[in-house]
Each structure stands twice: as structure tokens, then as C-alpha cells.
Amino acid sequence: MWRSFSLLFLLGACVNFHSLEQKRRAEPQPAEATAPRWRAEWQAIGRSAEGRPLRLTRIGHGPRRVLWIGGIHGDEREGRIATQELPYAFLDVPGATSEVTLTILEDVNPDGAVADTRGNARGVDLNRNYPAKNFLAGPTFGRTPLDQPEAKALHDLILDERPHLVIVAHAWRGDHFINFDGPALDEAELFAQRSRYRVKDSRHIPPTPGSLGSWVGNTLGLPILTLEYERGSDPLVCWMDTREAILAVILGR
């Protein structure tokens, strides 16, 4: 009899708890608990060869201008989580929005990303199509600098913005490191201090004629970091391993 009473009591408690939980879920939640803390306002700065938008968003209003480029080679997608999560991590840093205007260009090569190819839809490597002194004409580099719409859009953006720092996400087979061009040694060393990535000077990697780094760093004289994730790595792990370092160089501290 006692066992029967206990069983009935427990069943009644479970039913009451279940009813309360259903009621709680059905009740409207406060707006601040359900509304997103930040929502990207995207604008197109141009179109790809196949007509896809080159999307950009800005966060913050500070005097320091930083441009993050989420990808330029379509088959190097290891930085995609970093691009998605960076706005929220940036907003979590007290005072960041009053110190920095962070511009995020989602992807320079959306056609290549869809096709999983290094180049764009025309087979041109968009990291070899800039008016650097070392530009080399060719079927995979372009006949002339900026003859690809994606490269022209990014070129114009950088000239308009004149960022204090450019960071572009790439991937490298069998290795990971932070590469720099122009006056970006301090930023590269800061990145290395805050991550497990070593600094690798452009002089110690194969030549990159007409590259974004050559044009921004050497022609314009602006600091640029090329973040080389290890090819094939988990994009989430890539972000977690470099999150602190990325924020440090964006903020310059």
C-alpha cells in the first residue's frame, strides 16, 4: 500500500512539473532575451563575375580603421567561422566600438567558394590581380591588374577606407602562420604572442606577384596581415586558436 501511494505521488509530481514546464515555454519571453544583440547590415560593394554580391558590414565608430577579409581563394574556407563570429567577439570587448571601426568583407570570391576552386569563375587567382610592381600578366593572373570585378571592388574599397590594418584569411597546406607585408611587423609579432602561430616574413615564402599583400603593403605602404590557417583544419578550431590574437591586432593592444 505504501509503495502504491509513493508511486502515485511521484506520478502526480511528474505530471505537475511537465504541465508547469509546458506553461513556461508557452509564455512570451522578454524581448531582451529573444532579440539578437547585433544584426549585420550588409551592403554590396560590387558583384562577382557570376553576379554574386560582395557583402560588407561595419561595426563600431572608432578612429582606428581595420578591414577584415574573410576569404580570397574559394577553396580556402578555414576562416569562415572566424568571419561569422568576429563581430560578436569584437562587441564583447569593452570600449572596442569607440576605439575601432571594424569593416568585415565577407568573401572576395563567392563564386570560387561555391565551386570550391582557388580562382574565380573565370579561373583567375584574385590574389594575383592587383597593381603591385611585381604584377605578372597571365591566364590565371589576369591580362591587366584589376581586370576582375572582385579585385577592382576590393581595390576601390581599400583606397576609399585607407585602413590602418588589413587582415585577410587564407589557408596553407601542412602549416599555419601569420604572414605580413608593409609596416606590419609589430602587428605580426603581437599576433604571434597571443597565439600559437609563428611570424613568417614574405621573403621566406614563394613569390606572390600581383598579390593583395604586395599591393597593400609595398605599393601603398599600409600594414597587412595574411592569416594562414592550416588547410583542412576544423574552422571552429581555427577560430578558437586565433580569437584572442585577432582581437589584439584589431584593437592594437
Round to whole Å and give the CA distance between 50 and 74.
14
The one-digit pLDDT tens for each residue of the chain (253 residues) are 444 434 433 344 443 433 433 433 344 443 333 345 678 899 999 999 999 999 999 999 999 999 999 999 999 999 999 999 999 999 999 999 999 999 999 999 999 999 999 999 999 999 999 999 999 999 999 999 999 999 999 999 999 999 999 999 999 999 999 999 999 999 999 999 999 999 998 878 999 999 999 999 999 999 999 999 999 999 999 999 999 999 999 999 9
> Which H/E stretch holds residue 100?
strand 100-105
Cα separation of 116 and 71, whole Å? 12
The dihedral formed by the CA atoms of 87, 92, 95 and 97, expressed in degrees to the nearest 10: 20
For 83, residues 6+ apart whose C-beta sits below 8 A from its C-beta are: 68, 70, 71, 104, 106, 107, 169
Q: Are 151 and 126 in contact (CB under 8 A)?
A: yes
The backbone torsions φ and ψ at residue 84, rounded to the nearest 5 degrees and listed phi first, read -70, -40
What pLDDT is recorded for position 224? 98
Q: What is the pLDDT of residue 128?
A: 98
For the chain, what's the residue count? 253
User: What is the predicted pLDDT for the residue at 37?
Assistant: 66
Q: What is the pLDDT of residue 3?
A: 42
Please, what is the end-to-end C-alpha distance for the chain in angstroms?
71
- Nearest by Cα to 194 from 246, 234, 239: 246
- Going from the C-alpha of 153 to that of each of 35, 37, 86, 171, 207, the distances in angstroms are 33, 30, 22, 22, 24
CATH of the domain spanning 40-251, picked from 3.20.20.70, 3.30.60.50, 3.40.50.720, 3.40.630.10: 3.40.630.10
Give me 26's grid cell.
508557452
Q: Give SS3 for 123.
A: coil
Q: Where do the structural domains in the chain lie, given as residue ranges?
A: 40-251
Query: Using N-to-C axis directions, what is the helix angle for 235-251 and 80-91, rounded to 10°?
Result: 40
